[in-house]
Every structure is written in C-alpha cells, then in structure tokens.
Amino acid sequence: MAGASNLPPGFHFFPSDEELIVHFLRRKASLLPCRPDIVPTLTLNLYDPWELNGKALQSGNQWYFFSHATQTRASPNGHWKPIGSDETVVSGGCSIGLKKTLIFFMGEPIEGIKTSWVMHEYHLMDGNTDCSNSSTSSSSSKWPHKKKGQSETESNNWVICRVFESSYDSQVSFHEEGTELSCLDEVFLSLDDYDEVSFAK
C-alpha cells in the first residue's frame, strides 16, 4: 500500500499538524488501526528523501510515513539536521505533540552540503497531554488509550513525518533566525507550484 492513498477520486491527503497527531500518530502509538489506513511505516535511515516516491504516501509534492524515533537520522548518502526550535501542536487547548523541522544535508555531518529537502517530524508529548484549563482537559479523555501492557516509552517511540522539497531558501533562514512562521507561511513555503511568493521582512 506504500505510495498509494486508496482514497476516492477527488479526495486528497492534506492534513493539518493537529490532524496528523490526533488521527494518525496517536492511534499508531496506541496500537490502534488508523482510518483510513494509508500511511505506511518506513525505516528513515534506509532512504534518501528522493527515494521516498513509491514507498511513502505521496500527496502532491509531499510524502508521509511513520517511523521509529531516532537520534541518528543518517541515510545512505546524507543526514537530516534539526533547525530552529520545536513547535508545540495544540488541539482543543491541549498541547498534544511537538513538530521538529529538519533539513537534509548530503555527505558527512561536518562537511555536509545543504539541500532543499525539508522534513517535519511529529512527536507525541511525553506523559499526559498538557491542557490549559479544566474545561478542555475532558477532551483528552476522548483520545485513544494505549493497549494494556504498552509502556509510555514504547508509545512515544513512534513519529510521523512529512517530507517535501522546497524551492525557497527562506524556508531555512526563517528558522535559523528564530522567526516564528505562521500557518499560512508554512503552507506557501511547502508548495513548489508557486513561482513567486514574497514575505514581509
């Protein structure tokens, strides 16, 4: 099923950060079926980003897949380097996960050559979800519970990744300078179909 969405004609897979965590990563980590079950599981270290076509779920110029969390994100011809600060993903007033942004570099870590490949890696929050108030905390009880005997470490070992090739160097500079991106900024930066996009400095 890798690389194929099995969605009805006219439907496209363009989930938000919240939807990726709530409807996919959380259920995967809880050993529950994902519906629709269209996101494959890959070993990140086995593939360079341009090799994901036909293996990960493709939607436009983006590829999605589950993987096990790892500190060493090396691939056959390069490595993924984290940039900027982790972003908190919120749902219903609760902090439900973290979004890490990484850039792919060719070659060894010290002498690597930066490419235009970008990866958003989503993690579940350690422990319970962090809710801002008691009225929203009840929503966390609706989340799927881990199956009996499953440890917290095992649950948080899963990540879901979104990989795309950006044609804009500003995708990197925004993060390196510590500037926070809005949701609209991220949409434009993740699309290669737009040839002319300007951002206010």
> Which of 12-16, 106-110, 144-148 is predicted with the least confidence, judged by mean pLDDT?
144-148
191 CB-contact burial (10 Å; exposed 0-12 / middle 13-18 / buried 19+):
middle
The CA distance from 129 to 123, in Å, is 12
Q: What residues pair up with 10 in beta bridges, in sequence order?
A: none
* Element containing residue 171 per DSSP (H, E): helix 170-176
Per-residue pLDDT at 132 = 58
CATH number of the domain at 17-129+155-168, please? 2.170.150.80
Give me the percent of the chain exceeding a pLDDT of 70: 65
Structure tokens at 36: 């629709």
Question: What average pLDDT does range 178-190 have in this prediction?
Answer: 43
> Which of 85-94, 114-123, 164-173 is predicted with the least confidence, judged by mean pLDDT?
164-173
* Of 59 and 151, the one with more pLDDT: 59
Q: Is the peptide bond before 36 cis (omega within 30 degrees of 0)?
A: yes
Contacts of 6 (CB under 8 A, 6+ apart): 36, 38
The string of pLDDT tens digits covering residues 15-52 is 999 999 999 999 999 999 888 889 999 999 999 999 99
Q: Could you tell me the residue ranges of all domains in the chain?
A: 17-129+155-168
